[in-house]
């Protein structure tokens, strides 16, 4: 805890990583001009942009993978905690907040059954990976060791805004409810990261919960 903090990412890398995150809705818009199906176009955009982001930040990804592997007990503990809490929060968000949540369309999944594996991967683990890596990049220059509560709050409010602005339709009531939902979601992902020292519990828990939600309630 007394170790001096130093950022692992350059400003250029942070900006490019956030640009790749924001490219997802742009690429979806372009793809949708061709396929005229939001689920398929988001599948394409999520898989492509997330893969590029992971490759671009491969060193960061590898560092966090090694941290999670070396502290497997902590990774499992906070992944399970994440699954429980994110499940409850998504249930609350969908049942009471009526906020926007990026999920595939059931009719499209049944119509294009051949694409189901790609759709499931895109909307669960690819989306989760992009969100967790991007919010880590956004807050990388902040000393999390001496300001843990601050980094959790900043992560939630700043990246929650970015997440909401990128994906949520421009309807004021829906936008405000979704911003609140995303802010709390990112705060919790930030908490998992700060406690475990790696973003893998956040990736695994968020991806698993979304995958289960799609399989149980959409597919």
Identify the pLDDT of residue 2. 36
The C-alpha atoms of residue 87 and residue 158 are separated, in whole angstroms, by: 23
The encoded tokens of residue 124 equal 């669960």
Question: Tokens 């499209």 belong to which residue?
Answer: 108
Q: Whole-prediction pTM value?
A: 0.92
From first to last of its 219 residues, the chain has per-residue pLDDT tens of: 333 334 468 889 999 999 999 999 999 999 999 999 999 999 999 999 999 999 999 999 999 999 999 999 999 999 999 999 999 999 999 999 999 999 999 999 999 999 999 999 999 999 999 999 999 998 887 765 567 888 888 889 999 999 999 999 999 999 999 999 999 999 999 999 999 999 999 999 999 999 999 999 887
- With a CB cutoff of 8 Å and minimum separation 6, the contacts of 68 are 75, 196, 198, 200, 201
Q: Among candidates 145, 203, 150, 141, which has minimal Cα distance to 15?
A: 141
Identify the pLDDT of residue 143. 64
């Amino acid at each position: 805890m007394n170790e001096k903090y130093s950022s692992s990412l350059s400003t250029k890398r942070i900006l490019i990583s956030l640009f790749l995150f924001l490219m997802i809705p742009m690429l979806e818009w372009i793809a949708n001009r061709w396929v005229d199906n939001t689920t398929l176009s988001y599948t394409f955009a999520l898989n492509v942009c997330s893969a590029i982001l992971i490759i671009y930040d491969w060193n960061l990804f590898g560092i966090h993978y090694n941290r999670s592997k070396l502290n497997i007990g902590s990774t499992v503990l906070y992944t399970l905690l994440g699954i429980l809490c994110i499940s409850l929060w998504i249930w609350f968000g969908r049942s009471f907040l009526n906020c926007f949540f990026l999920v595939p369309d059931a009719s499209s999944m049944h119509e294009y059954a051949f694409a189901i594996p790609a759709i499931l991967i895109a909307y669960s683990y690819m989306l989760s990976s992009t969100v967790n890596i991007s919010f880590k990049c956004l807050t990388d220059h902040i000393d999390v060791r001496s300001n843990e509560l601050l980094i959790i709050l900043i992560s939630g409010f700043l990246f929650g805004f970015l997440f909401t602005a990128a994906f949520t339709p421009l309807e004021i009531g829906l936008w405000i409810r979704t911003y609140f939902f995303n802010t709390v979601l990112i705060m919790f992902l930030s908490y998992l990261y700060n406690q475990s020292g790696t973003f893998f519990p956040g990736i695994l828990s968020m991806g698993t919960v979304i995958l289960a939600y799609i399989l149980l309630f959409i597919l």
